[in-house]
Amino acid sequence: AGTTFLKTRMALGSIDAARPYLACLFYTAYFMMASGWSELSITLQTQPVFYKHRDNLFFQTTAYIVPIAALRIPYSIIFGCGWGCIFYYTVGLAPEWSRFFYFMLIATLLNQVSIGYFRLIGAAFRAVVLSNTMAFCYVGVAMLFNGFIIQFRDVGWWVRWVCYLNPMYWGLRGLTLNEYTAPRWNTPPPPGTSMHLL
């Protein structure tokens, strides 16, 4: 995946030069969100055991959910850090170490949120076909309303709540703020242009 965007010497300082970087950041947010899809099948496979324990009063619900959620935290850290190590400097994002660690933190949190959302979808819709359909709808809505495909200023006021509830919107926003507040992007825009990237 790192060689997909292998461009360590891209232009800087203009809106046209910023768009490929924004596409790379969108790809990161999408990859972190879609990587939680595997939790859907895991949740669906373990549901009979969960309901058997619940019906026979073996364990409380928290005794089942807390260990699974805690075991996914190291997975998200390894996944986010691995993605950051492969992707960040290969693309040529801001070279400061603080921005690199912030990138890995956002990627890890996006992965953790994605795992939670897909577990929720698997628990709410117990059938395989229905839960996969709802997961596809969720990913589609998350991609559509994250500020990359449809910019936030172009979204009607009656639908803006979808952006506010979308973790991919906040993750992409954090990734873009991390990149575009770097000192290398401190050139002023040409007169008469606006700097709306999200």
pLDDT digit string (tens) for 171-184? Answer: 999 999 999 888 88
Name the burial class of residue 15, with classes exposed (0-12), middle (13-18) and buried (19+) by CB atoms within 10 angstroms of its CB. Answer: middle
pLDDT band at 107 (very low <50, low <70, confident <90, very high): very high
In this predicted structure, the answer to whether residue 109 has a pLDDT above a threshold of 90 is yes
Burial of 40 (0-12, 13-18, 19+ CB in 10 A): buried
For residues 181-196, average pLDDT:
71
Please give the model's pTM, rounded to 2 decimal places.
0.84
8 Cβ contact partners less than 8 Å away, ≥ 6 residues apart:
89, 90, 91, 92
At residue 46 the predicted structure's pLDDT band, cuts being 50, 70 and 90, is: confident
Q: In angstroms, rounded to a whole number, what is the distance separating the alpha carbons of residues 18 and 162?
A: 26
Q: 130: phi > 0 → left, psi -120 to 50 → alpha, else beta; which?
A: alpha
- Higher-pLDDT residue of 2 and 158 is 158
CA dihedral 132, 144, 86, 89 (to 10 degrees): 180
Looking at residue 9, its pLDDT comes to 62
Distance CA(61)–CA(178), nearest Å, equals 38
Do 163 and 145 form a contact (C-beta atoms < 8 A)? yes
CA 17 vs CA 11, 54, 185: distances in Å = 5, 56, 10
Average pLDDT for the chain: 85
* DSSP conformation class of 106: H
